[in-house]
Structure 1
Amino acid sequence: MTAAMLVIGAIFEADLLENQYGFRPKVDAKMAVRRVFWHIRDHRRSEIVDADLRDYFTSIPHAPLMKCLTRRIADGRLLSKAG
């Protein structure tokens, strides 16, 4: 599982933007808060967006998620473990 996570994580990590902080290696919530503070202090931003994605991962539609994964992962054995 760890080996698969390392390989798959690297594949999808390449697609993420630098300002996406959730569940990523080498970034954390404190870094996201610092980024917000930087926008407020240095760029005089006044809009704040708060989002709570509680239980989001338990509600992702499974079929569309698997379709997305099959576009990037060719190993059917690995996909069968996810499905």
Structure 2
Amino acid sequence: MATEVHPITGDELNPIAVKRAQLTFENAVTAWIMKLQGETFTDIVQKLGTNANRIGEVFRGDAHRDAHAKAVAILRKHKSLLV
């Protein structure tokens, strides 16, 4: 993926390919899978193109409560459960 350059400072920037104001159930399952596979919170936020509050809601169970169980089931099915 190509990087961008800030027009004034010339600092190298990562492009934002996806922006999500809210997360679907499938996004929440993906977030849990990434977490269970050892991804950092910050990387999950950035890769899903959302803000930390939305991911925090998922991990606290405030949003998409069944996403964790679905993620565990998927990882077990793929024999990829690491945590």
Name the TM tier (shorter chain): under 0.3
Considering Cα pairs closer than 8 Å and 6+ residues apart, tell me whether 1 or 2 has the greater RCO. Answer: 2
Please, what TM-score do these two structures have when normalized by structure 1? Answer: 0.26
Greater per-residue helix proportion: 1
Q: If you compute each CA radius of gyration, which structure gives the higher value, 1 or 2?
A: 1
- Select the structure that is richer in strand: 2
